[in-house]
Amino acid sequence: MKFTLGYWLTKPNFKMTSAVQYARCTKLPGSLHVLAAGRNVRHRGDTLDGGTIDVVFSSPRENIIRVALTHFAGTVNRAPHYSVSEDSVTPVIQENEDSVSFTSGKLTARVCKGESGWCVEYLNDEGRVLTSSGYHGMQHALDKETGKTYMSDSLMLDVGECVYGFGEHFTPYIKNGQSIDMWNADGGTASDFAYKNVPFYMTNRGYGIFVEDTSDVRFEVASEKVERVQFSTEGETLVYHVIYGETPKGTLDLYTALTGRPPLLPAWSFGLWLSTSFTTNYDEETTSSFIQGMADRDIPLSVFHFDCFWMRSYNWCDFIWDPDTFPDPEGMLKRYHDRGLHICCWINPYIGQQSYLFREGMEHGYLLRKTDGSVWQTDMWQAGMGILDVTNPHARAWYCDKLRTVLRMGVDCLKTDFGERIPVRDIQYYDGSDPRSMHNYYTFLYNQMVFDLLKEEKGEGNAILFARSATAGCQQFPVHWGGDNSASYVSMAETLRAGLSMSHSGFGFWSHDISGFESTAPADVYKRWVQFGLLSSHSRLHGSSSYRVPWLFDEESVDVCRYYSRLKNRLMPYLYEAALQAHEHGTPMMRPMMLEFPEDIACETLDRQYMFGPSLLVAPVFRKDGRVQFYVPEGDWISLLDGHHIQGPGWVTETHGFMTLPLMVRPGTVLAMGTRDDRPDYDYSESTELHVFSLPKGESACIRIVDCKGNVADMVEVRMEDAPVVLSRSGRTYPVICHD
């Protein structure tokens, strides 16, 4: 939110109280309380008729400092709160004549005393200032026209400092210069709306900021004040965390330790998913023809997805198969399981008036109500629909019991669509939560509820969603896909930008609708997007009004889909170990270049390429003529597809046919590849080759070999002498292929 008119003037409707001068501090076990005066205090009279800001420093985990700013402490806070995981920390508090400081691990908050003005500096263990809050930083604002109040802070940016994250945003990858509102909305991928807003950002200076507020936090990222990131929220209190991980990966490790890490997903989920698409006409004959068509063309398929119209029109959601198109759902699902497929079904938390669940939900108080006690309803999406009140434990149990029937029929996973269009005006939640603060947090409770049900029914390690909406912490309920994109190269590029921002925001797994959701892609876009999609953590062919099976585009599309789906299956020993890294440390499978190469300044702006795991560089092709420009960091990079070498650092221009793209292996890599390509869930520990790329003589590389359950089956060291020497902890032998 912008409070100013330029640098000096405040907007006339705002009365601002700023932290101007250190007044005093109180040192308590585990926390430091600092009182900031709202004016310069020259004598006792200056303490009268003016406001203050209470600043409390504490530490939920080592190397994280929580900062709580409060103007009026007596304000009732009915907001839901993010669930954070805290650890035992013994901070160090020191005071001298010039300053008072609060230290957690390698991070220090130092409050300056004296007459030079208010300043809080955040320093690392080497004394380097990471960022600071100074003149007109910590502020309280009163809107004299509306009576609303706001708290804000603004943190300094250094020369060349780039800001990343905030969830899934389709705007430019580097967020400097943007105004970003944390307000989930269904706006497609071609707007500045976002399905997944996360009040967390990181910079290329080794730290991140998490604002612990579920409401519509507003960020001015080098926009209102071009040398700062300002964040503000309505109310009398603002809480944020300064997270110092030293590196981008280290910062994500700390952030996901605080807000939750993704579970390890079932290996079968990494294979190819095929959908009915949205508004297409389909029945069992149609879906069976698609499945058989993929088999006839030797394209391995792992999951088949039924979108909305598996249920009857007007009845979404009642979780009853449409008897006109699927008269024998249990038998059909068994037949598909017998073919080795897993099944996904579409759901959402909205209940149409024609559904028998609407009547049940209304009678028992399970639907979201208005303040007058009536059910909130709309005709947007489903006629007369209501919304499940996820704050009501009885409503959650009722909803999950209905879903349980579908899962026990043979459905393996669920697509939790929507969750963004949550009303805030004239709304009353069961638990009394503030509707504005519930707008974004609704998706956390919604996806958590369904994910927990899947764990119950399918077992730990077999639960997976395909979710659209999200907020901070939703990385614990994967996987998330990128929403409604269009069938064009431009939309493919904006989709990738959003995926990179998701990776900066703690989400280890991410997917997107291959070839675009809206309209139908020309064959060239389809083939390029299939390459990109099958080099993403999860891969789904899905659309709106047309089918996405490859033979409807052209015969070469079949070849491309077959080749890259089989390649991904072969890469599963490597990819599943990367998935384990996401589970253990929050390091995403799809990694922005700056995350993997933070020391290379050229990587800071790259938004049309990424690292797939630690060792594979992917540069999707965004042009019909196959021309692609990409950057390789230092070293001898080798193409996984045709073996050609590129010496980095430097920019490269290549032209690719539809069967290839830049897929480069990092120098010094030992790449574990499977010997099977027909499915993603085989025994990696028994079916693995070691491919060695540009490992100099006398040097060695170590890798973990995991099985398809995520257990570490072996630790292997490969040392290059006259021939490669393989040292295996388990004593297994592996075929070794050297690429020089």
DSSP string, 78-125: --------------EEEE-SSEEEEEETTEEEEEE-STT---EEEE-T
Enclosing H/E stretch for 524: helix 523-533
Question: Which single residue is written with the structure tokens 């709580």?
Answer: 68
Residues 40-45: contacts with CB within 8 Å, 24+ apart?
Answer: 40/115
Task: List Cβ neighbours of 657 (8 Å cut-off, separation of 6 or more).
Answer: 626
**In a 3-state reduction of DSSP, which class is residue 286?**
helix
Q: Which residues, other chains included, contact 327 with Cβ-Cβ below 8 Å and sequence gap of 6+? A: 284
738/720 Cα distance (integer angstroms): 10
Closest CA to 442 of 431, 458, 456: 431
Catalytic residue, from 484, 524, 681, 714: name it.
484
| Cβ contact 109:67 at 8 Å | yes
Task: Assign 3-class secondary structure to 605-660.
Answer: HCCCCEEECCCEEECCCCCCCCEEEEEEEEEEEEECCCCCEEEEEEEEEEECCCCC
Sign of the torsion formed by the C-alpha atoms of 489, 490, 493 and 499: negative
What is the rounded CA–CA span in Å between residue 575 and residue 538? 11
Rounded-to-integer distance, Cα 338 and Cα 13, Å: 67
Query: What whole-number distance in Å separates Cα of residue 190 and Cα of residue 169?
Result: 10
Q: Give CA angle at 338 (334, 343), nearest 5°.
A: 60
Tell me the pairing of strands 342-347 and 303-306: parallel
Structure tokens at 105: 């691990």
Contact partners, residue 177, CB within 8 Å, separation at least 6: 221, 222, 223, 226
Which stretch of DSSP H or E encloses residue 293? helix 284-296
Closest CA to 691 of 717, 672, 706, 667: 672
Distance of alpha carbon 354 from the chain centroid: 35
Distance, in Å, from the CA atom of 54 to the CA atom of 67, rounded to the nearest integer, reads 10
Report the residue count for the chain: 740
> Would you tell me how many other CB atoms lie within 10 Å of the CB of residue 473?
23
Catalytic residue among 417, 494, 513, 604: 417
Residues 672, 690 contacting (CB under 8 angstroms): yes
Active site annotation includes 389: no
Q: Which residues pair with 350 in a beta bridge?
A: 387
Question: Per the residue annotation, which of 420, 577, 636, 677 is the catalytic one?
Answer: 420
- Cα distance between residue 671 and residue 564, in whole Å: 17
Residues 705, 688: Cα–Cα separation, whole Å: 9
Output the CA angle 342-540-673, nearest 5 degrees.
Answer: 80
Residue 420: active-site member? yes
Q: From CA 82, how far away is CA 260, in angstroms rounded? A: 10
Rounded CA separation 399/458 (Å): 17
Based on the residue annotation, tell me whether 642 is a catalytic residue of this protein. no
Sign for the CA dihedral angle at 327, 333, 334, 340 comes to positive
Q: Which residues are catalytic?
A: 417, 420, 484
